[in-house]
Amino acid sequence: MKKIIAAFDSLRFSESTLAYSIMLARQLNVHLVAVFMNDITYSSYNRYKVLAESGDDAYREIEKLDEEDAKCRKASRCL
């Protein structure tokens, strides 16, 4: 069985990768597998920039951004 594996970033879903993968799989008549990469050390924001710009509220801001990333990761698993 021939397969194509399409890798997706769990925080930044790529519609173009999805469209290209589907088109290629249909043309080649192969099975398409989507993999959502999840690196817990990766975040959608720059921690150092948040620390520098947020002052005393930096840790609360980081917690908020981490929660948003967690929601995004969870949504990616449901696609």
List pLDDT tens digits, range 28-47. Answer: 999 999 988 876 667 777 77
What pLDDT shows up at residue 12?
75
Token pair for residue 21?
């993968």
**Choice between 57 and 5, residue whose per-residue pLDDT is larger:** 5
Examine the pLDDT at 79 and tell me if it is beyond 50.
no
Residue closest to 3 by CA, chosen among 29, 27, 37: 29
CB distance 61 to 50 below 8 Å: yes
Examine the pLDDT at 77 and tell me if it is beyond 80.
no
Q: How far separated are the first and last CA of the chain, in Å rounded?
A: 24
DSSP letters, 20-77, are HHHHHHHHHT-EEEEEEE--TT--SS-HHHHHHHHGGGHHHHHHHHHHHHHHHHHHHH
- The pLDDT mean for the chain works out to 82
